[in-house]
């Protein structure tokens, strides 16, 4: 991860952030995002959230008129704004910020880990009034804009600086997917101190390397197909495939970001077409089942201070219905799908509303006297 910070005190902060990133970064990069467009034109953007410590996420609703101030590397007040459009989604570590969600206009934003590639814009004290931290940019976009086009026009005027996220003691390396109700989608990345905006016509995002690298990498898999391969003859011997799926022999199956990008692209564009957003929501959850990471199978060599294995796992999976303004989610402990309908909430409330994501799944016993009919 490339980071540039102010010289005054910055080298000490950078050294601390880099050391923390070495401990956190190599496993915390397994999120997968997809986009589906139904036959009726409705759009669903969905993703998994993997991390190697509990993000303590809740679902929050940010009302209109909520005041915010951006963070800066030197602690000065940054960009100030108020929420124009109410929005709903998941937050990290109890903060009043959204890392995946949508607003009342159907604009949706997701933050994805971007270790080894993220390099934010250089900052000076004169830039404070237009500056914010990487983890604040997602909420800024949801609070302020209705379409991808508006986001594209506004981002060059904002400075996203290498601010240390105190909860993790590092500069969070992230990039962003932004999708609106029309289906327009972009990936926003800061690399080498510069803003890069990529049109995401394929609707897929994972993690490092940058988005354009992933698109080039897809060319390595042009041999893959959804149809089974016909039998082949080797001399007088006919070789037939072993069961279904021979067209996808060679598809990468590991949890690395490049492999997940390829699988997500194939699955999202290979499933039966969705008819409505409701159909698309549940189709998205089925696709993302393939990217669930159980605790312990994607791990580091070291253990944490309590002696536990450090490993990524799928903490929650979410899906945004951009047509109907509904935010769906399930968690590692509870695979029941829950939903918040933004159109049924008080969008002018005085403060943020919070819903817990905690709780364990309940198995319903069939045949018991109190079992559901």
DSSP assignment letter at 332: S
Query: What's the length of the chain?
Result: 373
DSSP assignment letter at 223: T
CB 86 within 8 A of CB 23: no
Placement of tokens 């669903």 in the chain? 44
CB 103 within 8 A of CB 85: yes
Q: What is the dihedral of CA 173, 179, 185, 190, to 10 degrees?
A: -20
- Identified catalytic residue from 1, 5, 28, 31: 31
Q: What angle, rounded to 10 degrees, do the helices at 277-289 and 257-270 form?
A: 140
Please give the Cα distance from 20 to 302 (Å, whole number). Answer: 14
List for the chain the helix, strand, coil content (%; round to 5). Answer: 25, 30, 50
Q: Which of 44, 89, 112, 98 is nearest to 319 (CA)?
A: 44
Please give the Cα distance from 27 to 312 (Å, whole number). Answer: 6
Query: Is-catalytic flag, 16?
Result: no
Q: Which two tokens stand for residue 71?
A: 């963070």
Q: Is 9 helix (H, G, I), strand (E, B) or coil?
A: coil
Please give the Cα distance from 33 to 288 (Å, whole number). Answer: 8
Report the catalytic residues: 31
């Amino acid at each position: 991860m490339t980071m540039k910070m102010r010289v005054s005190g910055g080298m000490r902060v950078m050294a601390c952030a880099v050391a923390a990133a070495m401990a956190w970064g190599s496993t915390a990069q397994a999120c997968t995002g997809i986009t589906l467009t139904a036959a009726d034109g409705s759009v669903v953007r969905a993703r998994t959230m993997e991390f190697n410590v509990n993000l303590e996420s809740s679902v929050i609703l940010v009302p209109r008129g909520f005041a915010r101030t951006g963070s800066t590397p030197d602690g000065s007040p940054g960009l100030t704004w108020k929420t124009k459009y109410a929005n709903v989604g998941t937050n990290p570590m109890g903060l009043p910020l959204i890392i995946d969600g949508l607003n009342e206009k159907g604009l949706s934003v997701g933050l994805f880990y971007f270790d080894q590639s993220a390099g934010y814009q250089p900052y000076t004290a004169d830039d404070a009034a237009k500056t914010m931290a990487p983890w604040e940019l997602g909420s800024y976009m949801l609070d302020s804009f209705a379409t991808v086009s508006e986001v594209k026009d506004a981002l060059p005027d904002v400075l996203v600086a290498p601010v240390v996220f105190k909860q993790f003691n590092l500069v969070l390396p992230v990039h962003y997917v932004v999708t609106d109700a029309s289906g327009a989608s972009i990936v926003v990345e800061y690399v080498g101190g510069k803003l890069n905006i990529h049109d995401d016509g394929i609707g897929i995002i994972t993690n490092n390397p940058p988005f354009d690298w992933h698109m080039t990498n897809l060319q390595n898999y042009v041999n893959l197909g959804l149809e089974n391969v016909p039998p082949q003859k080797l001399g007088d011997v006919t070789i037939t495939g072993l069961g279904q799926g021979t067209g996808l022999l060679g598809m990468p199956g590991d949890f690395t970001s490049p492999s997940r990008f390829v699988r997500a692209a194939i699955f999202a564009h290979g499933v039966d077409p969705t008819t409505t957003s409701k159909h698309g929501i549940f189709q998205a959850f089925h696709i993302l089942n393939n990217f669930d990471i159980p605790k312990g199978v994607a791990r580091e060599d070291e253990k944490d201070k309590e002696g536990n294995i450090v490993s990524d796992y799928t903490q929650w999976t979410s899906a945004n219905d951009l047509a109907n303004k509904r935010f769906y989610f399930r968690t590692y402990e509870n695979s029941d799908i829950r939903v918040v309908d933004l159109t049924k909430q008080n969008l002018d409330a005085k403060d943020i509303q919070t819903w817990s994501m905690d709780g364990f799944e309940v198995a319903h016993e069939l045949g018991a006297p109190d079992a559901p009919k």
